[in-house]
Every structure is written in C-alpha cells, then in structure tokens.
Structure 1
Amino acid sequence: MPRALGQPIRNAMTIDVEDYFQVSAFAPIIARESWPARECRVEANIERILAILADGGVHATFFTLGWIAERYPDMVRRIVAGGHELASHGYGHLRASDQTRAEFADDVGRSKALLEDIGAQAVLGYRAPSFSIGTANLWALDVLHDAGYRYSSSIYPIQHDHYGMPDAPRFAFYPNGPDGLLEVPITTAMLGQRKLPAGGGGYFRLLPYSLSRWMMRRVNSDDGQPAIFYFHPWELDPGQPRPEGASLKTRFRHYVNLQRMEGRIKLLTRDFAWDRMDRIFLGTK
C-alpha cells in the first residue's frame, strides 16, 4: 500500500509460533511421537512477546502451528484480542518439501480451518516451516491459493544448507500472476552483489544488533521497501530444556545469544515502525 508523505515505512513484525522441540533441526533427535509428553513453554513465551509488543505499540503477525493452537486455544484468542494477525504455519511443522501435493493440501487446509475456528477471523497468510518452498516445489503456492490463502511468506532468497531460493525476487511478487498468491520473501540487504540475510532468526542473534539495524534501515531507505522480520517464541527462552544428541552446529545455531534476544526485540520496537503483514501487503483494515 502507498504510504502517506513523510510517514516512515512500516515493517512487518512476524512470529513463528512453535515450541523448542518442534524445530526442524531437532527432528533427528526428537521423535514427533514424544511431543505430547514434553514440557511446553510456548504459552509463557508468547505472553512475554505480547507484553513487549503492547509496550512498544506494535501489531504483528503470528504464523501459528495448528498443533499448538489446538492445545492452547486461549493463547490464540489472546493474540487476536491484542490486535494481531493470526496466520498459519501449517499443522505439525512438516516441511513443505517433505510432503506430497495431497499431503500439503491437507496440512494447510486443516490448519487454516482450525485457526479460523479458534481465532474467529479469516486466516489469509501462510509461512512454510523452515522456509521450505523453493524451486523444486513452487506448486505449493498454487495449493495455498486454492485453499483460500492470499499470501505466503515462505521463500528466503539466500543460499543456506537447509533452505533458500537465491534467485527469487527480494521483495513481494506474484509468482503466477496478479490473480494468484502473493509471495513476500524474508528480507535481504545487498552488499555489492551479495545478498545478506536481514530478516531475523539465528542471524539476528549472531550478528551485532547495530549491523542488523543498518541492514533493515538500508532496505527502508535505499530500496524503499518494508522489511519482514521473524523470530520464534523459544528464542526468548534461554532456560529451555536442552535435548541430548544434537550436533555442535545445531546446538550453536539454536542456542547462540538467546539471553540477548528479548532486549534486542525491545530495541527493534523502538527503532522501526511495525505493522501486520495483511495490513502492509494486502491493505486490510
């Protein structure tokens, strides 16, 4: 949507609502069947996030797992009551690239219906677990459109060992024309000819805050585009259980600087203007 003259660019604050044991990198060491018996910490972490956003006057988009919503419906209703957008992260955190077309259609349809029933609002957006839509499964965007979604934020236009579509456009685009689904990629900043990840997650915890702020400001000022920032509730939880058997690389990626994350999110709420994905990219009220 066009912004009023002199108004700062509104960036999209997004939260991927999942618990620590559902992270894709832990899949080899945490059996899916064990999830119901594990200590869930997502509800307390979401309450902290809602308080931070309220203090900063920020409205955000919560890409929520159906598995979580089913178990914590009151938490979902508190998200909606706070003026935030409820969006889908699928049902059980299965990577889109690991599903057949029929399985994916069932997953995204099931999660959409569940979230709409609990939240009593239309669910327009979807984010694939681990940004698992790319060159090999772009059919997933058609499935989302057929299921009634209006936008996706599932492509990260970088090179990564677990995800990424480096040749994808950096900013919002219609992969199948303006009558199809809108894809809103996670934010990257350009340094020469190189794309730098600037949209949150582990990179945000690892890099100095000043560098992340510089990249997002550059996207706003030089590109004239909103940044899309994401994080997870477990990233604000340094006291979370630490399952055994994870590789050194996985442990580093998951746990680095968790103790600094809450303070950095609070800085973001002061340093930038923020809003929901649907308002910024679809023009909803």
Structure 2
Amino acid sequence: MQNSLYTDHNPGAPARFALSVDVEDYFQVWAFSSVIDRARWEDFPLRVEASTRRALDLIEESRARATFFVLGWIAERAPGLVREIAARGHEIASHGWDHRKVFDQSPAQFREDVAKTKRLLEDLAGVAVAGYRAPGFSIDARAPWAYEALAAAGYLYSSSAHPVAHDHYGDPRGPREPFRPLTGRALVEAPVATAEIFGRRVSCAGGGWFRAMPYAASRALLRRAAASAGGPVVFYFHPWEIDPDQPRIAGASLKARLRHYLNLDRMEGRLRRLLADFQWVRIDDALGLAPSRAAA
C-alpha cells in the first residue's frame, strides 16, 4: 500500500533539495556489465577514492551536505573513504554490496546483501545507516519482497524509485513524492526527482539525464519539480561522472558508451552551477529522520 507522507504539503513553502552521490567506480556501472564480469573488478585500477574526494570538495565549497550511497565492495577496499565522508558531515547510506540489481537476487540473497553492507558501513563510519538505494533503481514489481527485507534489516528509508518511463527501470505511474510502501511500517520510499511537462513526466534527477540536457533546462525542471513537490527534490550523481580521464572500456555497445561518456568533461562545471543555484541537504535531513547523527 502506498501512503503519501505529505498530503498536507504546501506547494508555496520553500522546497528542500536533497543531494545524493552513488559511490561506485567506472567499471561497476550497469552499462558495462555485459563486458565486465564482477570476477574481473579487481583487474581495474580503483579511481573512486580520488573522484569521491573531488566530489566532497565541490559540495563543501558551496556549504552543502549530501547523502553518499556507498557500495559495500568499495567500502571494504577503501575504508578510509567511508570514514572521511562521515567525518565531513555527510550521510553514509547503502548502495548494496556489489551493484547487483534487486530483481536479479533471490529474497534470501537480497536480505544478506543489505544486512552485510549495512553492518560494514556502520562499523567503518561509527554511525547508524538509515538509507538504501537499489542499483539501477531496481525495486519494482519483480521484487515485491524488497521493502520488507529493508525494514527487517533496520533501514528507515529507501531512495530506489525513479518514476519515469525508461528502458531499464521506472514506473511512469508511480508516486512522485515520498510514501510508505508497507502498511503499518515506518519505512519511507523517497523517489528521485521528476517534473511534469505538457502532461508528460520527465526526469530531472541527475545521472545521464543531467549530462545530456542543457544546464538551463535542468535548472528549470528542478524548479518546476520543487513547485509541485510533496517532499524533497532528490538529485543524484556518481563520482566517475567528474572523472573524464577514466580508462575507456573496450567492447561495450555504442549505446552504452554514449550513455556513460557523454559530457564527462562538462560535468564538474554543471555541478558547480547546480550547487550554487539551490540549497542542498542530506536525504535523512530532508525527510526529518537524521538518525545517522547517533552512534551505531
């Protein structure tokens, strides 16, 4: 059952823009999964530490705060990065262990994945982990058990819904505002940002959409989303998107290469403008949760 949390929201009130970063490296993205097996990940140079620290610096230059959804695989190999993110005042949240889509796991595998990742992040950062984001926004009708598993593992919210039409994810009829997916349970789903244009729903949440669009169009869509938002306007990006010198992956399809490499050289400049044009907070703060201030 989908119960809106913000039925009394005043559209004229100031919007809360929530910034998020999906901490994964260039070789772990879904677009390259057909040519890079997980067993080969160790063969690739890890660049995520430097690119994430660059993202941290950019965010803090604007005095913003963000939520960092970290892969367990990354946290295991770069524990100092997790500690640094938390020490610099940002939210540590889970992106699952190894970027495996939810519906590609059994319920038992998913329960182990989210519990294992949560334990590691909490041990490293010394804070409670409240949030989860599914790789590839992959909580949908193919995994109806996922929210129960998250609630049982102790997560307070998910930001795994991208309610648009897309060839790999999304439900264009799904809620655009935060809702409770489980009757009688406190777990919240906070979808990433969308806007309505001429009766059609479009994404303004970040990622490849943000790199492909002129910046002025993205800014206008975010303002439109905020004007009608029944909750925080959630935006995301990846550290590899501000790493234009990353190694190029051989063998990937033209479509995958276009999606991944488009406008990487312009992304940092666009982020600077975005950070200057809106006031950004962590997702847990935007939802009024903020449990990660307390020790785990």
- What TM-score bracket applies, with the shorter chain setting the length? over 0.9
1:245 aligns with 2:239: no
Shift of 1:180: 3.6
1:149 aligns with 2:140: no
CA distance in 2, matches of 1:27, 1:222: 36
The AA in structure 1 aligned to 2:254 is L
Residue matched to 2:218: 212
The AA in structure 2 aligned to 1:146 is A
- Contact kept in structure 2, 1:199 and 1:229, CA below 8 Å: yes
Give ranges in structure 2 of 5+ residues lacking alignment.
1-5
- Contact kept in structure 1, 2:178 and 2:191, CA below 8 Å: yes
Shift of 1:168: 1.2
Choose which of 127, 131, 140 in structure 1 pairs with 2:146.
Answer: 140
CA distance in 2, matches of 1:63, 1:50: 13
The AA in structure 2 aligned to 1:141 is Y
- Contact kept in structure 2, 1:9 and 1:273, CA below 8 Å: no
The AA in structure 1 aligned to 2:50 is A
The AA in structure 2 aligned to 1:122 is A
CA distance in 1, matches of 2:217, 2:78: 36
CA distance in 2, matches of 1:145, 1:29: 34
The AA in structure 1 aligned to 2:85 is I
Choose which of 174, 183, 201 in structure 2 pairs with 1:168.
Answer: 174
CA distance in 2, matches of 1:115, 1:243: 29
What is the TM-score with the length of structure 2 in the denominator? Answer: 0.92
The AA in structure 2 aligned to 1:250 is A
The AA in structure 2 aligned to 1:148 is G
Give ranges in structure 1 of 5+ residues lacking alignment.
none
1:126 aligns with 2:132: yes
How do residues 45-84 of structure 1 correspond to structure 2 at under 5 angstroms?
45-84=51-90
How do residues 67-106 of structure 1 correspond to structure 2 at under 5 angstroms?
67-106=73-112
1:223 aligns with 2:226: no
Residue matched to 2:45: 39
The AA in structure 2 aligned to 1:188 is T
The AA in structure 2 aligned to 1:31 is D
CA distance in 1, matches of 2:183, 2:91: 25
Percent of matched pairs sharing the same residue? 50
CA distance in 2, matches of 1:225, 1:141: 20
Shift of 1:178: 5.1
CA distance in 2, matches of 1:44, 1:254: 19
CA distance in 2, matches of 1:145, 1:94: 19
The AA in structure 2 aligned to 1:169 is P
Choose which of 169, 179, 203 in structure 1 pairs with 2:209.
Answer: 203
Shift of 1:156: 0.8
CA distance in 2, matches of 1:222, 1:199: 15
1:27 aligns with 2:36: no
1:259 aligns with 2:291: no
Shift of 1:177: 2.8
State the superposition RMSD in angstroms: 1.8
Shift of 1:97: 1.0
Q: Which runs of 4+ in 1 moved over 4 A?
A: none
My pick for the range that moved more, 101-110 or 174-183, is 174-183
What is the TM-score with the length of structure 1 in the denominator? Answer: 0.96
- Contact kept in structure 1, 2:177 and 2:229, CA below 8 Å: no
Residues paired across the two proteins, number: 284
Shift of 1:132: 0.6
Shift of 1:224: 5.8
- Contact kept in structure 1, 2:137 and 2:160, CA below 8 Å: yes
1:277 aligns with 2:280: no
